[in-house]
Amino acid sequence: MKFNTKVIHGGQEHDKAYGAVMPPIYQTTTYAQTTPGRHKGYEYSRTHNPTRNALENAFASIENGKFGLAFGSGLAAIDAVIKLLKPGDEVVSTNDLYGGSFRLFTKIYQDFGIKFHFIGMQNASNIEAYVNKNTKLIWVETPTNPMMNIIDIKAVSSIAKNNNILLAVDNTFATPYLQQPLNLGADIVMHSATKYLGGHSDVVMGALTVNDKDLADKLYFIQNASGAICGPQDSFLVLRGIKTLHVRMQRHCENGTAVAEFLANHPKIENVYWPGFKSHPNHEIAKSQMSDFGGMISFTTKGNNYEDAIKIVEKLNVFTLAESLGGVESLAGHPASMTHGSIPKEEREKTGVVDSLIRLSVGIEDIDDLIADLEQALN
């Protein structure tokens, strides 16, 4: 089954009760049993719910995985992965990553005795210097948030496998439409399903997909024992969103290309960060592991002035100044004060997240309106 068919039919079956084409919203906490322990496959909705299971099957299908798990948020999904570790274990993470991930790693799990190394991974060989007998996990974002760096998943996978280390890839920016990390050697794929998978800025959710059954069983246990699950209504919304992922991503990519090229040719723009440019340091790797380059773009204006950046995002009309990304509507953000505000200034500026940086999530509106909006804000 090809991807455009998988997003609609993958892992799904018609409702057995009445033949409903869409999985019903099973808004229930518990299920009747004929005798203690004998039921129809469901006993309590923290553990299993038919609507959530349908969504988890869809997650697995679109990532070419065997097991999918849905969580109450992207951070809850990441939290479950880190709970695979124990005090004394070490994690090698990309240094350019979502601020919430950095906060979870440094403000919570570091206090529990897990050591994190944040490094540039644009050259995968940089990882090897940080690998030792305590290294249990490599955490990768590609493209990274917000600098749009590209990391070679196959190369990192080779290092991970040679050292018996788990490799987890945050695939939120690319989506499985553009990139499938399990096929490239990853052990775990994570999504903030709040973003492109849901696609309509109306639900918060996280996803994990894996192929290994033992690993899946450990994560299912954590999911149930910790309880950070999503409800059936949210599951229904994301399942509905997935069914249009392919057509939305086509427009996100088309519009993203046009916006990136407009910014690159604008006299007031200093730098544009987008992996579709041939000048991007890892453009060839992006071409090899992605089918297109997505709708996420970051840029700075000439002079790298904080006040200019704030004025621009305040003047936008079609682009909405807001947290998040991946919805049908275009969003603009100021990472230093919004999504990455939890990262100390000195640390974030090492990766390029300066006070003048603006991040765009290019939506699916008419491209002429988006360009005109950027033009008036810049001028």
Q: Rounded CA gap, 179 and 171, in Å? A: 8
98 among known catalytic residues: yes
Name residue 330's amino acid: S
Active-site residue, 133 included: no
CA distance 182 to 218: 18
Which member of 26, 98, 109, 196 is catalytic?
Answer: 98
Instruction: Select from 199, 219, 247 the least CA-distant residue to 56.
Output: 219
Distances (CA, A) of 182 to 169, 362, 379: 9, 26, 44
Task: Clarify whether 44 is annotated catalytic.
Answer: no
User: 218 an active-site residue?
Assistant: no
Q: Which of 170, 187, 234, 292 is catalytic?
A: 170
Contact 219, 69 (CB under 8 A): yes
CA dihedral (182, 348, 269, 174) in degrees, to 10, reads 10
As a whole number of angstroms, the distance between CA 102 and CA 170 comes to 13
Cβ partners under 8 Å of residue 332, min gap 6: 312, 313, 316, 319, 320, 321, 322, 358, 359, 360, 361
Write down the catalytic residue from 6, 52, 136, 195: 195
- So which residues are the catalytic ones? 46, 98, 170, 195
